[in-house]
Structure formats: structure tokens, C-alpha cells
């Protein structure tokens, strides 16, 4: 099999020296337009002066105070802001250092919830095929991403997987109009088969990121699975680490579906990459038994609620709200996607352009009619990524979305404050990279 390049399809990593808005500049002076926000992280681009000033001011006063000894204005104000932006339903926030940590905390809180109720048999998690939830062993256990988990098999939790919710690649014989109901029925059967008394939670990404190449669930899906979970006393965990915090045009991705999960994980767009920060949001329903029986959540780390990280998150969220950038993502996302679709329409190998807001995935296929993927040895998505990078555009290539090995997708997720001309540059350079990669093949 052909050796796949490291990173985003890049053989040798240049040394970064600074960022300027939507651009990064390396030691040789080359400029890169960050068309994917790294891995869909940089919602405000790089070196935003207001965010940097907020971090510097917090660092000047106190960088960090241990959460069991002190609270802080940064933590309290960020919590109030996030809870307000999420709308009604959530009551508590457990902060962490990454999206993986946020998912791990959600899993632990789900288990603690049932322990507090004396239901110690409810230990099992159900997740979906072609999903990615993080690098910790727990989060990795609920992820169906063969390339990232195979080295750790044998030490992972025993998790049950149900079908992916992918309208472009539905189960055989299932029509698009029937997909949501079919998948909800599958989840229902799976819970019954395992025994509802044994199942703690169902975990899903409202819009699948790296494992699928931006796959929004079909209309009605989230409401249908929420009803199934409630019916069987199973907690619903929404992993919005990649698709949340405004990335899809609403602060909560599930706001689009009018669904409030029991637990929700956010990270990437929370502090925009300025300082690592993740969070697990908990509804009153999920939290009440824990507070009654145990007093507090039994999860967290030394740096949970890190003061400077919270100051960074607060600054990012204030700017997003003040400048109405989530509204901008919702308003301009469809046009950005349509511009990409138009620019790529001449390539028969572009099977699907999909997404929501500034979160767009492009899937490449060897046959558009049959949706047959390229052979994995072609490593097409990584070649597109490498050619784009050489041309000064950062995109996010992914592989294995079809069967764990074959399948090529590329994610584009620009900063929310990316200018119209920068969006045009992303489209132009990405189409050029696709053309070059396909011409070579």
C-alpha cells in the first residue's frame, strides 16, 4: 500500500512563525490561507488582538487558580455566557482541556447518573459507525474510526455500534424519506436486544466530522433518536466538539433540529484555539440524581476551569456575539457551499458536496453513479491536501469514510470572520488542487 503522508498530507512540516487573521506565515515567509481552521478550530482566525489582549490581561493578574480552592470572574462569566447561548435546558458545565476530555467527562457523568440512582447495571454505551469522539481510551472506544483505533484494540470498552446516519450512503434498500425512521428503529431494536436496564447512553455527532467528512444527520433523525432514548431511560450525548459553538450556523448544532440532549460536548470553537478548552454541558435532568446522591460530578482534571483558558473562551464568545458572526455563518454558509459545488461541478469524481454553515465536506468517488470510492492505495484526499498546501491553502483531508479503509473526503471550515474575498480564494485554490490531483491520477 502506498505510504500516506503525515499530518494533512504533508511530507515535511514547515515551521510556523505567526498568524494574521485567516492566514498563517511560515519561517520562509510563505502565507497559507486557513481554509479548514486547522481541524475546524480557529473560528476567529489567528492573532485576534482583542483575544490576545484578554489573555494577556488575565495572565497579568493570575494565570490559573485551582478549581477546588477558587472560582474566578473568567470562569463565572464564561459559564453564564455559554449557558445563555445554548438556550434553556442546560444547568451545569464541567470544563476540560480538549474535546476528547469533554467526551470522556460526558461518559463518566452518564455512568455516575445511573450509579446515583442505584442502577449499576446501566454501563453500556451505544455509538454509530463512522464516528470519531476522541483520543482518550473511553472516547476512542465509542469511535468507529479503524485507522485511529486499531493499535489499541483489546484495551477498549465493549461498545455496541449502530448504522451511520448518512443520506449519501444509506443502508441498502432504504429510501431517503425513510432513513430517519429506519435508523431510529434500529437504535430501538439494539437497546431492546442489549436490555434497556444495561444501556447508559447513546453518543452521536449531530454533524459527523473527521470520520465521515461532514455528514449532517437527515431531517427528523435527532428528534427520533431522542424519543427512543427517553423511552428506554437512556441518556443522549451529543458530541458537538467539531460542529458546535457556531460552526454550523447555530451555536448548538442541534438547535437546527430543535433537540436538547442530556449531555453535550463542545471544544474547538469554544476558545477558538487560543488556549485549549473543552466543556461538557449537563441538563438538570442528568445532574439532579448526581447532586442528590454525590454532591458533585466525579470528573475533571488539575487544569479544569483554567483561568486564562476561560478568559480566552469568554473573549472569543463575546466577539462572536458582538459581531454577529454565527449569524454570518448561517447567512453565508449556503452561498459558500454553492460556490464550491459550482467550482467542482466539472469533476465527475466529486460525488457529494455537503454540510451546514462554515462546515463543508467534499467526497470524491471513482464512479459518481455507483458512488464507488477510490482504492485506498490512491490516497486521493491526502494528495489533494498536499497540493492545496503547496498552493498556500490549508484544508483537512480524511480517509476511510466508506468502510474504514477506502473513501476520500476533504473538509473545509474557514474562520467565521473570513472575508468574502478569502472565501473566494478558498474555492479557487481548492478546485485547483482537486484538478491537479485528479489530472495526475
Mean pLDDT on 306-319: 98
Under 8 Å between Cβ of 385 and 9:
yes
Q: Tell me the CA end-to-end span of the chain in Å, nearest whole number.
A: 16
pLDDT at residue 342 in the model: 98
Whether 187 has a pLDDT exceeding 80, the answer reads yes
Range(s) for CATH 3.90.1150.10 in the chain? 16-34+324-440
Cα–Cα distance, 51 to 310 (Å, whole number): 11
**Full-model pTM:** 0.96
pLDDT at residue 352 in the model: 97
Cα–Cα distance, 347 to 92 (Å, whole number): 48
Q: Report which DSSP code applies to 241.
A: T
Location of C-alpha cell 482537486: 434
Mean pLDDT on 232-248: 98
Cα–Cα distance, 87 to 313 (Å, whole number): 18
Mean pLDDT on 330-356: 97
pLDDT bracket for residue 441 (50, 70, 90): low
Whether 22 has a pLDDT exceeding 70, the answer reads yes
- Asked: is 51-322 a CATH 3.40.640.10 domain? The reply is yes
pLDDT at residue 2 in the model: 43
Chain centroid, CA 9 distance in Å: 20
pLDDT digit string, tens, across residues 199-235: 999 999 999 999 999 999 999 999 999 999 999 999 9
- The residue among 85 and 441 whose pLDDT is bigger is 85
pLDDT bracket for residue 8 (50, 70, 90): confident
Share above pLDDT 70 across residues of the chain, in percent, rounded to a whole number: 98
What string of DSSP letters covers 314-345?
HHHHHHHHHTTHHHHHHHHHHHHHHHHHHHHT
What is the arrangement of strands in the sheet containing 23-26, beginning at the earlier edge strand?
16-20, 23-26, 31-34, 393-394
Average pLDDT, the chain: 96
Cα–Cα distance, 407 to 152 (Å, whole number): 22
Identify the CATH class of 16-34+324-440.
alpha beta
Location of C-alpha cell 445563555: 84
pLDDT digit string, tens, across residues 159-185: 999 999 999 999 989 998 999 999 999
pLDDT at residue 11 in the model: 79
pLDDT digit string, tens, across residues 344-387: 999 999 999 999 999 999 999 999 999 999 999 999 999 999 99
Pairing state of beta strands 278-283 and 90-96?
antiparallel
Whether 106 has a pLDDT exceeding 90, the answer reads yes
Report long-range pairs for 345-354 (Cβ below 8 Å, ≥24 apart): 347/434, 347/435, 347/438, 349/374, 349/438, 350/434, 351/168, 352/168, 354/168, 354/214, 354/215, 354/216
Q: Where are the alpha helices (DSSP H) in 19-136?
A: 37-40, 49-61, 73-86, 99-116
Range(s) for CATH 3.40.640.10 in the chain? 51-322
Amino acid at each position: 500500500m502506498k505510504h500516506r503522508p503525515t499530518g494533512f498530507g504533508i511530507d515535511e512540516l514547515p515551521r510556523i512563525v505567526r498568524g494574521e487573521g485567516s492566514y498563517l506565515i511560515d519561517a520562509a515567509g510563505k502565507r497559507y490561507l486557513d481554509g479548514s481552521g486547522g481541524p475546524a478550530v480557529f473560528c476567529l482566525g489567528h492573532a485576534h488582538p482583542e483575544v490576545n489582549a484578554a489573555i494577556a490581561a488575565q495572565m497579568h493578574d493570575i494565570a490559573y487558580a485551582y478549581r477546588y480552592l477558587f472560582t474566578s470572574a473568567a470562569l463565572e462569566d464564561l459559564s453564564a455566557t455559554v449557558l445563555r447561548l445554548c438556550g434553556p435546558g442546560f444547568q451545569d458545565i464541567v470544563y476540560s482541556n480538549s474535546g476528547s476530555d469533554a467526551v470522556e467527562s460526558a461518559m463518566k457523568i452518564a455512568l455516575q447518573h445511573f450509579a446515583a440512582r442505584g442502577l449499576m447495571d446501566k454501563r453500556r454505551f451505544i455509538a454509530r459507525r463512522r464516528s470519531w469522539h476522541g483520543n482518550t481510551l473511553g472516547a476512542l472506544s465509542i469511535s468507529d474510526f479503524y485507522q485511529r483505533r486499531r493499535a489499541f484494540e483489546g484495551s477498549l470498552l465493549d461498545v455496541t455500534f449502530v448504522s451511520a446516519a448518512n443520506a449519501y450512503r444509506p443502508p441498502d434498500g432504504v429510501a431517503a424519506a425513510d432513513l430517519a425512521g429506519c435508523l431510529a428503529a434500529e437504535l430501538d431494536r439494539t437497546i431492546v436486544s442489549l436490555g434497556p436496564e444495561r444501556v447508559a447512553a447513546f453518543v452521536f455527532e449531530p454533524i459527523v466530522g473527521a470520520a465521515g467528512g461532514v455528514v449532517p444527520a437527515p431531517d427528523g433523525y435527532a428528534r427520533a433518536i431522542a424519543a427512543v432514548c427517553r423511552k428506554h431511560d437512556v441518556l443522549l450525548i451529543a458530541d458537538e466538539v467539531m460542529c458546535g459553538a457556531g460552526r454550523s450556523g447555530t451555536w448548538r448544532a442541534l438547535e437546527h433540529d430543535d433537540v436538547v440532549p442530556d449531555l453535550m460536548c463542545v471544544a474547538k470553537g469554544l476558545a477558538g484555539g487560543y488556549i485549549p478548552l473543552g466543556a461538557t454541558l449537563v441538563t438538570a435532568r442528568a445532574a439532579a440524581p448526581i447532586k442528590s446522591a454525590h454532591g458533585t460530578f466525579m470528573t475533571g482534571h488539575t487544569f479544569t476551569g483554567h483561568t486564562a483558558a476561560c478568559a480566552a473562551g469568554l473573549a472569543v464568545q463575546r466577539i462572536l456575539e458582538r459581531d454577529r458572526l454565527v449569524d454570518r455563518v448561517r447567512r453565508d454558509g449556503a452561498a459558500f457551499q454553492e460556490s464550491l459545488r459550482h467550482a467542482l461541478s466539472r469533476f465527475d469524481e466529486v460525488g457529494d458536496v455537503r454540510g451546514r454553515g462554515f462546515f463543508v465536506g467534499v467526497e470524491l468517488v471513482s464512479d459518481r453513479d455507483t458512488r464507488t470510492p477510490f482504492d485506498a492505495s490512491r490516497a486521493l484526499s491526502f494528495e489533494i491536501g498536499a497540493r492545496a498546501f503547496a498552493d498556500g491553502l490549508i484544508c483537512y483531508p480524511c480517509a476511510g469514510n466508506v468502510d474504514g479503509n477506502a473513501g476520500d473526503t476533504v473538509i473545509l471550515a474557514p474562520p467565521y470572520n473570513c472575508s468574502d474575498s478569502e472565501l473566494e480564494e478558498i474555492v479557487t485554490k481548492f478546485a485547483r488542487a482537486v484538478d491537479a490531483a485528479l489530472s495526475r491520477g
